[in-house]
Amino acid sequence: MKTTNKKILAAALLSASLVSTIVQGAGQPPPPGLIGKNGFLFLSYDISTSADVPANNITIDLVTRLNKVLASNGVTMAMVLVPMKMRIYSEFLPPTVRTNPTMMEQYDRTMKVFRTNHVNAIDLNTPFMDNANRNGPFPLHLKLDTHWSPSGVLLAAQTMKAGIDANPALKKALDATPAVSYKLEISKQKKTNNSHDIVALIPPAQQGKQTFPPEDSLQFKVTRAQGEKSDLAPTTQPMPGVAIFGSSNSRPWTGFSDALRYYLQRDILVSASNGDRGSWVGMESYLREAPFQTKPPKLLIFEMEERDLRSPPTFQHRAANFNIDNTEWLLRVSALIQTSCKVSTVTARIAPAGLGAVPSNQKGGGITTGPTSDTDFVDVVFSGPLGKLDYLWAKLPSSASKPIILEASGSEAEARKFITEATGAGALKYPLTSPGKGYTKVRIFPGKTTGFSLQDLQICRQPDDLLS
């Protein structure tokens, strides 16, 4: 198996009871993996009902707000949802499973809301549902796997190119990036595809003596015309003008990023999140990394699986360390996206305690010191309680790669510990969110370092309409 199935298995097992009413004779919830017809296997987590609509709406709202923040900071976003296999190939579902209006209308409804909210969403569902495409010699989804097939990624990339050309904002962003010549070779020979992540999710009792032989897939290859290496890791500099952040469907092995390189004729930086982390934690990590912080893309393609619409940051079946309050996630990513500091009415100063109590450490209006230990700290006090839209901004050039502990407190606010990291550009950009009154102090623990510096400390303010 080429990708981890932790999230797929956990979500399928824990949410199976939520969808049991869709299965005929639903005394028991469906197993994570389902054996369909014509060699197709399905993931029961694809089953959605009207009960999922509120969570879907939260996801749509967060994507809408993310899109607006990116646009106001010079980044144009293209949103793309990978259509659910269970709808695209519904005729091959097992007889115990039936579709419902929510499943059949979910994608089109989401596209409509995105476009009403000025999100540049590109529809893949329509071309994927087209009989000429889905009933071709190679399915658009792998039969034994949750991911799209080489045929699917080529169709998706071609559709993305057409959608970008038809959208003035997206086309303008793409045209602002340098063109690179790529060529596409489609082999006449079939390729054995060993991807089969759903097989492990089917209970042995249901598998019986049935075997699931590898399927044949279309084979293609994309190469840069000049023969130069084109795959770029998320930390590679400089960052191309086009970037993809996505799910495991965007990982190099699927071929989606290569297909996009060919159809867009652009270098593309790819960052994909592991399934157990989900899109939200993954997006926050991508935005914190050096490429985005030092040279944001002109065009950012946000790829998300349709099934994950029901999984906003607070999704209850995600591991606790990857579960984030919805509003807090938005405040954190918005702070990372900001390219300049809109100064708050609240100010900050370093208190004469800890590292700040040593006169020789007080340099340049901030703190600069030698090696630090886990017990060393810097106390920062604020002129008043932080507002919900306020966040810390400081330069941390000597500790950019270290986790940092922030202990926030206030006379009328419950103390809270935050664990974060400096950005790839060596900065701290972080909101100290409180459920009640705002914090009036934060103790910063840099941890073990060979040298620590905190300079240009400011309290900045998010856009006034971020949460409205």
Assign 330 to helix, strand or coil: helix
Query: In whole numbers, what is the pLDDT of the chain averaged over residues?
Result: 90
| pLDDT score of 21 | 37
Tens-place pLDDT, residues 43-91? 999 999 999 999 999 999 999 999 999 999 999 999 999 999 999 999 9
What does the CA dihedral 270, 271, 273, 274 come to, rounded to 10 degrees?
Answer: 70
Of 337, 357, 379, the position where a domain reaches its end is: 337
User: Could you tell me if 312 and 179 lie in one domain?
Assistant: yes
User: Could you tell me if 323 and 373 lie in one domain?
Assistant: no
Q: Is residue 400 part of a domain?
A: yes
E-strand spans in 375-432? 378-382, 390-395, 403-410, 413-421, 427-430
User: Could you tell me if 108 and 232 lie in one domain?
Assistant: yes
Tens-place pLDDT, residues 385-412? 999 999 999 999 765 557 999 999 999 8
CA 374 to chain centre: 32
User: Could you tell me if 176 and 291 lie in one domain?
Assistant: yes
Out of 54-63, 225-234, 271-280, 309-318, give the one with best mean pLDDT. Answer: 54-63
Backbone angles phi, psi at 349, to 5 degrees: -145, 155
User: Could you tell me if 312 and 361 lie in one domain?
Assistant: no
| pLDDT score of 401 | 58
Q: Is residue 445 part of a domain?
A: yes
Tens-place pLDDT, residues 169-220? 999 999 999 999 999 999 988 888 889 999 999 988 888 888 898 899 999 9
Q: Is residue 370 part of a domain?
A: yes
User: Could you tell me if 255 and 357 lie in one domain?
Assistant: no
pLDDT greater at residue 254 or residue 239: 254
User: Could you tell me if 53 and 119 lie in one domain?
Assistant: yes
Average of per-residue pLDDT across 271-293: 90
User: Could you tell me if 142 and 285 lie in one domain?
Assistant: yes
The Cα 281–Cα 297 span in angstroms is: 19
| pLDDT score of 28 | 66
Of 284, 314, 337, the position where a domain reaches its end is: 337
Tens-place pLDDT, residues 103-118? 999 999 999 999 999 9
Q: Is residue 292 part of a domain?
A: yes
User: Could you tell me if 97 and 127 lie in one domain?
Assistant: yes
Average of per-residue pLDDT across 8-18: 42
Assign 63 to helix, strand or coil: helix
| pLDDT score of 192 | 87
Q: Is residue 319 part of a domain?
A: yes
Please say whether the beta carbons of 314 and 277 come within 8 A. no
Q: How many domains does the chain have?
A: 2
User: Could you tell me if 174 and 267 lie in one domain?
Assistant: yes
The Cα 68–Cα 378 span in angstroms is: 35
| pLDDT score of 207 | 84
Of 337, 371, 404, the position where a domain reaches its end is: 337
Report the CATH number at residue 383.
2.60.120.260
User: Could you tell me if 150 and 237 lie in one domain?
Assistant: yes
The Cα 240–Cα 327 span in angstroms is: 30
Average of per-residue pLDDT across 141-147: 95
Q: Is residue 427 part of a domain?
A: yes
Q: Tell me the residue length of the chain.
A: 468
| pLDDT score of 422 | 92
Tell whether the model's pLDDT for residue 233 goes beyond 60.
Answer: no
Tell whether the model's pLDDT for residue 18 goes beyond 80.
Answer: no
Q: Is residue 113 part of a domain?
A: yes
Q: Residue 434's domain spans which residues? A: 348-461
User: Could you tell me if 380 and 235 lie in one domain?
Assistant: no
Quote the DSSP letter at residue 398: T
Q: Is residue 388 part of a domain?
A: yes
* Alpha-helical segments (H) within 319-435: 326-337
* Alpha-helical segments (H) within 214-325: 256-264, 278-288, 290-294
Tens-place pLDDT, residues 323-382? 899 999 999 999 999 999 999 999 999 999 999 999 999 998 899 999 999 999 999 999
| pLDDT score of 1 | 40
